[in-house]
Amino acid sequence: MDNQRCIIIGASHSAGELCISLRKEGWTGSITIVGDEDYLPYNRPPLSKTYLAGEKSIDDLLIRHEEAYVKADIEMKLGCRVEKINRELKEITLNNDEILGYDKLILTTGARPRKVDMPGTEAKNAFYLRSIYDADQIRPYIKNGSRAVIIGGGYIGLETAAMLVSTGMKVTILEREPRILNRVAAPEISQFFTRIHTEEGIELITDVEISELKGDEQISEVVCSDGRTFAADLVIIGIGVITNSELAEEAGLEINNGIVVNEFAETKDTDILAAGDCTYHFNKHYDRWLRLESIQNALEQAKVAARTICDHRQEYDQIPWFWSDQFDLKLQIAGLSGGYDNLIVRGDLSQGRKMAVFYFIGDTFLAVDAVNSPQEFMFGKKVLMQSLRLDREKLADSSIPMKEILLVD
Partner 1 sequence: MPLVKYISHDGTTNEVEVPVGNSVMQGAVDNMLDGIVAECGGSCSCATCHCYLDGAWSDKIPPASEMEKDMLECVLEPQDNSRLSCQVNVTDELDGLVVKLPESQF
Residues that bind partner 1 (CB under 8 A): 13, 20, 23-24, 43, 45-46, 63-65, 67-68, 71-72, 295-296, 299, 321, 323, 325, 330, 332, 372-375, 378-379, 382, 385, 402
CB of 301 to partner 1, least distance (A): 13
CA dihedral 385, 388, 392, 395 (to 10 degrees): -60
CB of 285 to partner 1, least distance (A): 14
CA dihedral 186, 191, 193, 194 (to 10 degrees): 130
State which residue, 72 or 224, has the beta carbon closest to partner 1. 72
State which residue, 267 or 373, has the beta carbon closest to partner 1. 373
State which residue, 62 or 223, has the beta carbon closest to partner 1. 62
Distance CA 43, CA 401 (A): 34
State which residue, 325 or 369, has the beta carbon closest to partner 1. 325
CB of 375 to partner 1, least distance (A): 5
CB of 393 to partner 1, least distance (A): 22
Own/partner pairs, 307-311, CB within 8 angstroms, 24+ separation? 307/21, 307/25, 307/264, 308/264, 308/265, 308/266, 308/273, 309/6, 309/22, 309/25, 309/27, 309/104, 309/106, 309/273, 310/22, 310/25, 310/26, 310/27
State which residue, 11 or 248, has the beta carbon closest to partner 1. 11
CB of 153 to partner 1, least distance (A): 22
CB of 109 to partner 1, least distance (A): 20
Phi, psi (deg, nearest 5) at residue 344 = -125, 125
Q: Which of 65, 64, 80, 87 is nearest to 32 (CA)?
A: 80
State which residue, 109 or 297, has the beta carbon closest to partner 1. 297
